[in-house]
Amino acid sequence: MSNTFSFRRALSLSTFRRKAAAAPASKTAPVLPRLNLGLDDENEEIDNHDLVESNDMNGPTTTWTYEDAARSAQKATPPPPPKMPLYTQPRNVSGPLAVDTNGMTPDPNTTASPWQRTNPVPAPHNSKTSQYIERITAENDRLRRELRAEKLAREEEAKRVSAARSKAEDSRSEYQHLQVLADANNRAIERKDRKLEELKAALEAESKRRIAAEQRAEEALKMLGDTRSETQRQLASAYEMRHLAETNADAARDGFKRITDSYEKQVRGMKDELKELRHARIEDADKIRRQAIISDQLQHEMSRTLRTEDKMVNMLGKYKEEHRKEVDSLVQEAEHMRTALPSREQRAEALVTSLEETRDKMKWVMAQKRREA
């Protein structure tokens, strides 16, 4: 938009310059000096600028200057005819300015000048000064209109600049906001970098632990292989030992069979002896039964009177003593038999053990009877 506006303004000023340069000069009228309406300084200031680079929000842009527009307009239009030389006469002090009236009649071959009046009121034919005044007035009006348009353009330019400034402020605030977001993103990136470093350290530690575990596993597998080979060797030796043990067991079984045969013969002899001992035990049992009956009677008697109880106790003591004597005699007899018969020592010990058990049983029976009494 700024380029279009600058180009249009340059074209409007170039049109004004082209018209001012192409204005036909009258053959008889003197050329008046250029009026200073306050635009010369501005035009000179504008003409002295070349292509101006303006930085707006969209980046650097290149604008046309008035001089470039005028130069392009002059190239597009043919050059104006050369001006006529100035013919002036000395001013008459006593009267108005003398005007050369040689060329008052218009040339029928010439075209209508843009400086001619368009109103229906005919201009006086006897005054060239009035014609110049009208031309100057029209020129002034036109310059005022262009000045007004230039002011409006300047105001629009100021508005555009203020809008650009407000946009720049918005952009600056947006930039500050983006800077804050960038700082926050940088801090987040730093945190993520620290977290990444921690994860890298954890990964490295985990890889080290995994390598150590693999080494331990390899060592364990190696130890397992060694253990397996050792176990296989031990198993082979165990098989050999088992074979030897089976051989020894067969030999021992044969020897044990021979020994058991001899032991069976001895057991049969011991059974015969045990039969004899069993008969003796039966007799002892009869004696014990009779003694139990007697003890029952004694207990009944003891329950009746204390005197009978004492008698029964004495009788029981006597019985114990007699029984002990009998047992002792039996033990002595067994000892005598053991000394007499060394080969029957084991049988005698068994007999002694059975007699002692019998004695203990008798004591237990007497104790039970005593408790019942």
pLDDT tens over the chain, length 373 residues: 445 555 555 544 444 444 444 444 444 444 444 444 444 444 444 444 444 344 444 444 444 455 555 565 455 455 554 444 444 444 444 444 444 444 444 444 444 444 444 544 544 455 888 888 999 999 999 999 999 999 999 999 999 999 999 989 998 899 999 999 999 999 999 999 999 999 999 999 999 999 999 998 999 888 888 888 888 888 888 888 888 888 888 888 888 888 888 888 888 888 888 888 888 889 888 888 888 888 777 677 666 767 766 777 787 788 788 878 887 887 887 777 667 666 667 776 787 888 888 888 888 888 888 888 7
Q: Identify the DSSP state of 140.
A: H
Q: What pLDDT is recorded for position 84?
A: 44
In the chain, which residue ranges form alpha helices assigned H by DSSP?
A: 2-22, 40-47, 66-76, 128-304, 306-340, 345-372
Q: What pLDDT is recorded for position 266?
A: 86
Q: What pLDDT is recorded for position 157?
A: 92
Rounded to whole angstroms, the Cα distance separating 99 from 91 reads 10
What pTM does this model have?
Answer: 0.23
In 23-127, which residue ranges form alpha helices assigned H by DSSP?
A: 40-47, 66-76
Q: What pLDDT is recorded for position 146?
A: 93
Rounded to whole angstroms, the Cα distance separating 366 from 372 reads 10
Rounded to whole angstroms, the Cα distance separating 135 from 129 reads 10
Rounded to whole angstroms, the Cα distance separating 129 from 31 reads 11
Residue 80: phi and psi, rounded to 5, are -70, 160
Task: Yes or no: say if 359 and 325 are a contact pair by the CB < 8 Å rule.
Answer: no
Q: What pLDDT is recorded for position 359?
A: 86
Residue (of 140, 139, 101, 134) closest to 118 by Cα position: 134
Task: Yes or no: say if 319 and 291 are a contact pair by the CB < 8 Å rule.
Answer: yes
Q: What pLDDT is recorded for position 147?
A: 93
CA dihedral 247, 249, 250, 252 (to 10 degrees): 120
Rounded to whole angstroms, the Cα distance separating 298 from 164 reads 144
Q: What pLDDT is recorded for position 340?
A: 67
